[in-house]
Amino acid sequence: MTRRWITPSRIEGEASRQAHADMPAGTYEREISKEGFFGPAAFMHHKRPPTGWVKFEGPLRPRAFDLAALKGANASPWASPRILHNGATEIRFWKLDAPMPALARNGDGDQLLFVHEGKGDLFCDYGHLAFEAGDYIMLPRGTMWRLSPDGPAAILMIEATNTHFTLPDKGILGPHAIFDPAIMDAPKIDDAFKAHQAEDDETRVEIKKRGEVSVATYPYNPLDVVGWHGELSPARLNVRDIRPIMSHRYHVPPSAHTTFLADRFVICTFAPRPFETDPKALKVPFFHNNDDYDEVLFYHDGDFFSRDNIHPGMMTLHPTGFTHGPHPKALGRMFEQPKPMTDEYAVMIDTRDPLEIGEAASAVEWTGYKDSWKSKS
């Protein structure tokens, strides 16, 4: 049934009539909204930054994890630490420094790999696909696969538990905007794949189902297809092939950068884009609580313009209900940016259900993050 929101449209007091622009002088805008950025919303004009607390206590605090500081490589993806998880997803950070000795298979859901560092080759049921930093690789549930990196690799793993990854509807932009589906690559039955088949040794397949790993051992290499046809296959998309939409007069919300969808979460990619040029348009993210979604950001590369003390390989979690917005340094550049473009690549995962924090993540937590909105004088 289509939802009919209770939406009396009002303008009270001194207010702009356009979100993220034309705010009353000296005020700070905070958005209160339903369903991320898709439902009804209100825009408050505060006299002081909405993150101006002097003390923040209790469990509703933002978290930051330095995943780059996690120690130890794992030969199996299923041995890599779970960073965040709930019933709809599982987010792991996997360091791999040698070719996987076994094949992996996810029986729990589609598996997305985001290559943070490293390059090499993927071999799977469907063939061979090279990978490099910045690649998203979507592996349909049940695919047998192995990675053979050329050196150390670091991979963010995101599972669509018990469901599928799909592409967002691009709406009035049309299906070829942001990235053209034709830019996605699929594995090929090429010479590298045939050479991999020729290594026909005993092979273990580590199958994850309901979080537990079972092992099927074959007396040969089961990646032995001579061909296949169909419309289902792994797909690779590099973040450098994303052409973000922007408006010179309006700070578009993160949802405009949606790359993949699952049933209970979305994945967005922040890629370099020009800053807004309209003098009265906001040039930094607006303050909000994101009242319906937990927000996760993984910082891949570049200079993260709205956050202080964040470096590549870090991950932040802003739980539903926590007010956030630009850090103090960025807030000073609310209407004027020194550079013409942003220079950041980041992966955002917004989940409709609350996330739990894995033990390994706690070990690399930056506990001072909750205080990072305090202005430094």
- Please report, as ranges, the residues that interact with Fe ion according to CB under 5 A: 290, 295
Q: How far is the CB of 291 from Fe ion (least distance, A)?
A: 11
Q: Please, which residue, 241 or 291, has the CB nearer to Fe ion?
A: 291
What residues are paired with 158 via a beta bridge?
91, 112
Q: Please, which residue, 78 or 287, has the CB nearer to Fe ion?
A: 287
Do residues 127 and 168 lie in contact, with contact meaning Cβ atoms separated by under 8 Å? Answer: no
Q: Please, which residue, 90 or 295, has the CB nearer to Fe ion?
A: 295
Q: How far is the CB of 295 from Fe ion (least distance, A)?
A: 5
Residue 179 to residue 174: CA distance in whole angstroms:
11
Residue 77 to residue 122: CA distance in whole angstroms:
13
Sheet holding 258-261, edge to edge: 63-66, 314-318, 294-303, 343-351, 265-270, 258-261
Residue 181 to residue 179: CA distance in whole angstroms:
6
Q: Please, which residue, 89 or 290, has the CB nearer to Fe ion?
A: 290
Q: How far is the CB of 333 from Fe ion (least distance, A)?
A: 18
Q: Please, which residue, 234 or 254, has the CB nearer to Fe ion?
A: 254
Q: How far is the CB of 58 from Fe ion (least distance, A)?
A: 19
Q: How far is the CB of 288 from Fe ion (least distance, A)?
A: 6
